[in-house]
Every structure is written in structure tokens, then in C-alpha cells.
């Protein structure tokens, strides 16, 4: 082998070993994310998750509804979609690890297509944007965070 290929071969070997090690030794799951970015029509919000959880003292159930006995995270859109359209109706039940979560919105655990009178009243289930906004604004109002029409751009990017 030509001597000029030895450094290149060593670099490729080291990088290959690093790639294999990355697949074999999966890092542990992070507890609380530092920030969560939420894109929305009011402007992107960079939510400081770690501050709210650790510095402000909020519990997981204060925001995540983990009282349904499900392991977090359940995607918010499982219950609070962008719209109650046909795609949501067809796909949402696949997002839950057990059927017990169905009882949050349904009177019984559905076993097939629902008659119109058995469908939940979606007027009382907020859409994802409304659920986020209501959740944030109620805490901001009661706990002294930015609140009111003049404070929108303290959280929302322009």
C-alpha cells in the first residue's frame, strides 16, 4: 500500500468505528428538554420548557394531562388536532398505547365506526392552537407571566 493512503485509511477506520459505536451505544433519554419550538399562525414560539419545569415549579400534569394513566409523551395532536377533519378521525386512535384514553372523549371505548349521535362533541374539545394558547395564557394571567394583547410578542416571533 502506498504510504500516502495510510492516514486516509486510519481516518476512515476511526470514523467508521465512531459511527458503529453511535448505533450500538444509544444515549439515555433526556429528562426535560431545554426548549420546545412551536410553529403557529401567531408566530413561532420558543417555549423554555426547562425553566417552566424546574425554575417555575410546574409539574408535568399541569400541562401534559398525564392523569389519563398514559406514559408521556402523547402527542398533543392526538386529542387536539389542527382540525377535526377526516384524516384526524381516521388516524387519531393509533396514537394511544391503550384504549383507556378513549374515555376522555368517548362515552365507551369505540369498537368500530360511530353513529353521529355517539361521536364526541368536538365543540367542547379545543383545537391544538386553542389548547396551547388557553393553557399558556391561563398560567400567565394567574402567575404573573406576560399576559394581555400587548404582550403577544414577548412569546411569539414576529
Region of residue 144 (phi > 0: left; psi between -120 and 50: alpha; otherwise: beta): left
> Per the domain annotation, does 99 fall within a domain?
yes
In the prediction, which pLDDT does 74 show? 64
Range of the domain at 113: 36-154
In the prediction, which pLDDT does 4 show? 83
Q: 102 Cβ partners below 8 Å, 6+ apart?
A: 93, 96, 109, 110
> Per the domain annotation, does 24 fall within a domain?
no
Span 98-126, average pLDDT? 82
> Per the domain annotation, does 10 fall within a domain?
no
Residue 56 belongs to a domain with what CATH number?
3.90.10
> Per the domain annotation, does 124 fall within a domain?
yes
> Per the domain annotation, does 18 fall within a domain?
no
> Per the domain annotation, does 3 fall within a domain?
no
**pLDDT top residue among 28 and 84:** 84
Summary mean pLDDT of the chain: 82
What's the whole-model pTM score? 0.59
> Per the domain annotation, does 27 fall within a domain?
no
Q: How many domains does the chain have?
A: 1
> Per the domain annotation, does 59 fall within a domain?
yes
Geometric angle at alpha carbon 124, from 120 and 127, rounded to 5°: 100
**Alpha carbon 40 to chain centroid distance?**
14
Helix (H, G, I), strand (E, B), or coil: what is residue 14? Answer: helix
Region of residue 57 (phi > 0: left; psi between -120 and 50: alpha; otherwise: beta): left
Amino acid at each position: 500500500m502506498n504510504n500516502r493512503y495510510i492516514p486516509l485509511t486510519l481516518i476512515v477506520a476511526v470514523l467508521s468505528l465512531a459511527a458503529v459505536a453511535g448505533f450500538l451505544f444509544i444515549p439515555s433519554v433526556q429528562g426535560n428538554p431545554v426548549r420546545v419550538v412551536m410553529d403557529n399562525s401567531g408566530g413561532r414560539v420558543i417555549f423554555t420548557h426547562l425553566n417552566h419545569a424546574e425554575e417555575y415549579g410546574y409539574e408535568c400534569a399541569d400541562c401534559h394531562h398525564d392523569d389519563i394513566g398514559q406514559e408521556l409523551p402523547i402527542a398533543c395532536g392526538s386529542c387536539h388536532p389542527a382540525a377535526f377533519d377526516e384524516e384526524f378521525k381516521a388516524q387519531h386512535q393509533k396514537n394511544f398505547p391503550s384504549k383507556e384514553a378513549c374515555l376522555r372523549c368517548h362515552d365507551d371505548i369505540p369498537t368500530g365506526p360511530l353513529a353521529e349521535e355517539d361521536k364526541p362533541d368536538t365543540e367542547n374539545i379545543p383545537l391544538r392552537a386553542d389548547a396551547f394558547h388557553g393553557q399558556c395564557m391561563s398560567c400567565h394571567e394567574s402567575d404573573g407571566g406576560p399576559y394581555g394583547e400587548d404582550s403577544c410578542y414577548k412569546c411569539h416571533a414576529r
